[in-house]
Amino acid sequence: MDVPVDSIEASSRTALYPAIQPYATGHLEVSELHSIYWEESGNSDGQPVVFLHGGPGAGTSGGNRRFFDPEFYRIILFDQRGAGKSLPHACLDENTTWDLVKDIEKLRKHLAIDKWLVFGGSWGSTLALAYSESHPEQVAGIVLRGIFMLRKKEIDWFYQYGCSAIFPDAWEAYRDFIPEEERNDFVGAYHRRLNDDNINVQLAASKAWTNWELATSYLLPNEDSLKRGEDDRFSLAFARIENHYFVNKGFFPSDSFLLDNVDRIRHIPAVIVQGRYDVICPMMSAWDLHKAWPEANFKVISNAGHSANEKGTTAELVSACEFFKHSSC
């Protein structure tokens, strides 16, 4: 059922925690080419939780720590290959879903963690499902938001036609960047430009790609979100890595791979949070996951879009992490 903001139980905390700083940071070499930035904050002896960021290519930020009680959780953030502070920046070589799954395991072992709570939204939900289905014995619980399983109909909805009918104004800049004769495949057309030998072509394409997503992330327009697109470094990694994964169909062996393997994790306690008016990762995917995984606690936020930073969604995500404080996690 839809969950309006005012229906959340008063006994459960729903507000973000105050901003904190990490007590440990580092770079972990995960291949001869890639090293990933990681950090720890909160309680060094607490329940480990790993935050899986979106995109792929978006990287982490300090605000991501605030979903978790720092007195209870050992909060682990890391930037996936090519994103954020990880090196080399915006690199597509040796950058696949299965490389990232291996990286998560390498980080878990590097930090001497047995089991952890896995938290991911948007692409982070994709990666959380792929990791958890591959290593269910290492997962104590799962919190997902804005479900994205990288199926063809999901990519087509946002990047080819569908969301364009709801945001025709924002769509025009994304559409018009590509010549009319190439518009039968926007993802492919952007791929050619995001991998052009001319960095200026890459940057222009990355801005158009990134701004389309930022313009549609909230139910109501958010100027702070749009400003992120002005950062060349952010846009380049975000667009290049996202597009690389989408062109390669997430590196999954089949379109419904994550759904087909959900039985591997149905025994794990989980919460799924979905904005009713999420136009980037529309609710059809969360609904499909809910039907395949009825044991998971399914929360639909009646007044939210895609972003984790919308009031109702934030409240449910914090509440979910509070729930796991009192479970067997």
Show which residues are catalytic.
Answer: 122, 278, 306
What single-letter amino acid sits at 289? L
Q: On the CB side of 162, how many CA atoms lie within 13 Å of its CA? A: 16
Reduced to 3 states, what is the DSSP secondary structure of residue 45?
A: coil
Pick the closest to residue 22 from 57, 1, 51, 2 (CA basis).
51
| 8 Å CB contact between 163 and 174 | no
**Residue 72 dihedral angles phi and psi, to the nearest 5°:** -105, -40
Q: Is the dihedral of CA 106, 108, 112, 115 positive or negative?
A: negative
Q: Which residues contact 232 (CB under 8 A, 6 or more apart)?
A: 203, 206, 207
Q: Per residue, what are the HEC states of 175-224?
A: HHCCCHHHCCCHHHHHHHHHCCCCHHHHHHHHHHHHHHHHCCCCCCCCHH
Pick the closest to residue 119 from 269, 304, 295 (CA basis).
269
| 8 Å CB contact between 262 and 309 | no
Q: Which residues contact 284 (CB under 8 A, 6 or more apart)?
A: 153
Question: How far are the Cα atoms of 68, 79, 119, 288 from residue 237, in angstroms, in the given order?
Answer: 27, 11, 22, 30
Task: Give me the helix-helix angle, 186-194 and 232-247, nearest 10°.
Answer: 130
Using CB atoms within 10 Å of the CB of residue 291, give its burial: 0 to 12 exposed, 13 to 18 middle, 19+ buried.
exposed
Residue spans of alpha helices (H) in the chain? 97-110, 123-134, 152-159, 168-176, 186-194, 199-214, 223-227, 232-247, 257-260, 283-292, 311-325
